[in-house]
Amino acid sequence: MYGGGNTFEPIKATGLEMEDPAKLAEFEARIERGEKIEPQDWMPNLYRKQLIRMIEQHAHSEIIGALPEGTWITRAPGFRRKLAQMAKVQDEVGHAQLLYSAAETLGKSREDMITDLINGKSKYSNIFNYPAFTWADSTVISWLVDAGAIVNQIANAKGSYGPYCRALDRICAEESFHLKYGHDAVVHLATGTPIQRKMLQEALNRWWTPLMHFFGPPDKMSVHTEILVKWKVKMATNDECRQQFLDMYVPKIWELGLSLPDPKLHKNAETGEWEYTEPDWEEFKRVINGDGPCNAERLAVRRTAEERGAWVRKALLSPKATYVTPLA
Amino acid sequence: MNDVFQSLDPRINRLGVTVEGHLEAKSSLDQFETYEVFFQMKEGKPYEHAGIVHAPNEDMAFLFGKEQFSRRYTCTGMWIVKTHQVITSPITDHEQSAYDLLDHRLAETELNELSHFEVFHLKKRGRQQVHMGRVQAKGYHDAFKQASEHFGTEPALQVWVIRSQDLLFSDEADKDIWFTLPEKKYRDAIAYKSSDKINAYKERTAKQ
């Protein structure tokens, strides 16, 4: 599960003048032809750095995203939902592993990625800094946060870096279950008792702003990423993803007789574009910089798990172990 | 700030997690070395590279590989090998075979006796390595030469060679770990059909 908030920071210097022009031309021609770049290929430093950052943030988002939903495994109503919730949480953690591996092929070790996550140096998707108060919150996450992530991931799966694309193909295939499972759980509440409907409506109201934040700031506020588009690192703009999400899911929310807390939200019949009130982007910045309702808890939980598991890993480590960069 | 925070999750509250704290930078190999995982989706199909797992030993790598790469689809076998035991050729373009790019840097790794080697090809960029077959050779350099003779006409954008004895192969007795895969319907998208509920709801509200 991952959104597009990753493009928030500007690229300070491309460093392209330092690269070998012949190799750069060959690299760009390969992408232009629609071929994938593989780990052993030559690539410009900027490409490597941006991909590491993007894939790493995606991996962190999967692992942190498992926390609010993991909370609900023991309290999910019914045995079947517990099984499904558990399978979904296992998927998310598995996705983190796939993504950490893809980032590792670019030369950043998993140890460094975990350290940077826990010490606040690397970011993850902002939406997981919000709490899941009720079972309805958990169903809204399963359906709509995963829906948003799929929009983003399907776009990125057509990118240029082989290992990332392969990880995303696998992830998207698994997330089709998350989406259906989440939708089913939402429909169950929406078509249930008045109390169930009320609980669901309240959860939707709570998650709407984080969901609008999910794809990152509007294109007009975002940093220019022309080179990343050319290199097929960034495959769709934040607004394109947001529009696609609204187009696919707002009608499905409305057909259940539920409302969304934005009176301005509607599809412009002439332009075919959705119009909406801009969510509070100051809140987005504040939360992404650490001051959200759950930032401290999420990182503290991860840190504790790492610290308390350290002795087991130490005991298991073979003195003969040697590390080399994974292959693909 | 409180030393211990209140979470919505009772399990987290029981852990006594403190808010303030800093993780000491992880040392190298804290996450162990990596293993490359190959698996077979159906009997008779070639083994394909699936990805990597971090693990302290072969047996754990096998378990992690099973959980990571064969949870959803059918699987009939899995192979595991340490990443550093995979010897790779350079990667090339669709016009050229990777066998044409082999250099002589492998000469010094010659072994004394004949061994078996498993040969894998990357047939297209963006895809995974596919198992081509086994050759007998007296070292890695020789194995690449043998592989070139046996499989050189097939597309080979990159070639991997692994000494057979370095691989952990699943055996017949292991296969039952995949038998229950199709029973776990609760994690299949098709198990969730909400359209009936939605239609019933629409009919009900239309009448009101």
Higher per-residue confidence, B19 vs B178: B178
Q: Pick from B56, B128, B190: which is nearest to A316 by CB? A: B56
**Whole-number pLDDT of residue A171:** 95
Set of chain B residues whose Cβ sits within 8 Å of the Cβ of A42: none
User: How far, in Å, are B68, B70, B167, B170 from residue B176 at the CA level?
Assistant: 17, 13, 20, 11
**Whole-number pLDDT of residue B20:** 80
- The predicted-structure confidence for A29-79, as pLDDT tens digits, reads as follows 999 999 999 999 999 999 999 999 999 999 999 999 999 999 999 999 999
**Whole-number pLDDT of residue B1:** 42
Q: For a pLDDT cut of 90, what percent of chain A falls above it?
A: 89
Q: Pick from B21, B84, B125: which is nearest to A303 by CB? A: B21
Does A2 score more than 90 pLDDT? no
Q: What is the mean pLDDT of chain A?
A: 93
Does B13 map to a domain?
A: no
Chain B closest-CA separation from residue A167 CA (Å): 9
Q: How many domains does chain B have?
A: 1
Chain B stretch 5-44, residues whose beta carbon is closer than 8 A to a beta carbon of chain A: 5, 7-9, 11-12, 15, 17-19, 21-23, 25-34, 36
Set of chain A residues whose Cβ sits within 8 Å of the Cβ of B190: 180
Does A221 score more than 90 pLDDT? no
Q: Pick from A84, A306, A313: which is nearest to B23 by CB? A: A306
Does B78 map to a domain?
A: yes
**Whole-number pLDDT of residue A10:** 65
Give the lowest-confidence range in A141-150, A191-200, B56-65, B96-105: B96-105
Q: What is the mean pLDDT of chain B?
A: 91
φ/ψ bin of A273: left (φ > 0), alpha (ψ from -120 to 50), beta (otherwise): beta
CATH architecture of A17-306: Up-down Bundle (1.20)
Chain A closest-CA separation from residue B48 CA (Å): 12
For residue B51 the two structure tokens come to: 């990805």
By C-alpha distance, the chain B residue nearest A92 is B68
- The predicted-structure confidence for B121-151, as pLDDT tens digits, reads as follows 999 999 999 999 999 999 998 999 999 999 9
Q: For a pLDDT cut of 70, what percent of chain A falls above it?
A: 96
Instruction: Look at the alpha carbons of A30, A32, A34, A39 in this order and tell me if their dihedral is positive or negative.
Output: positive
Does B2 score more than 50 pLDDT? no
How far apart (Å, rounded) are the C-alpha atoms in residues B140 and B110? 6
- Domain hosting B62: range is 28-169
Does A86 score more than 50 pLDDT? yes
**Whole-number pLDDT of residue A226:** 84
Q: Please indicate whether, in this complex, the C-beta atoms of B197 and A188 are within 8 angstroms of each other.
A: yes
Report which residue type is found at B204.
Answer: R
Higher per-residue confidence, A54 vs B3: A54
Q: Please indicate whether, in this complex, the C-beta atoms of B23 and A119 are within 8 angstroms of each other.
A: yes
Confidence of residue A16 (pLDDT cuts 50, 70, 90): confident
For residue B184 the two structure tokens come to: 């776990």
How far apart (Å, rounded) are the C-alpha atoms in residues B100 and A233? 31
Please report, for chain A, the start and end positions of each structural domain, with discontinuous segments joined by +: 17-306
φ/ψ bin of A130: left (φ > 0), alpha (ψ from -120 to 50), beta (otherwise): beta
- The predicted-structure confidence for B54-64, as pLDDT tens digits, reads as follows 999 999 999 99
Confidence of residue B105 (pLDDT cuts 50, 70, 90): low
- The predicted-structure confidence for A245-254, as pLDDT tens digits, reads as follows 999 999 999 9
What mean pLDDT is predicted for residues A237-256? 96
Set of chain A residues whose Cβ sits within 8 Å of the Cβ of B93: 30
Set of chain A residues whose Cβ sits within 8 Å of the Cβ of B39: none
Q: Please indicate whether, in this complex, the C-beta atoms of A71 and B12 are within 8 angstroms of each other.
A: yes
Question: The pTM is what?
Answer: 0.94
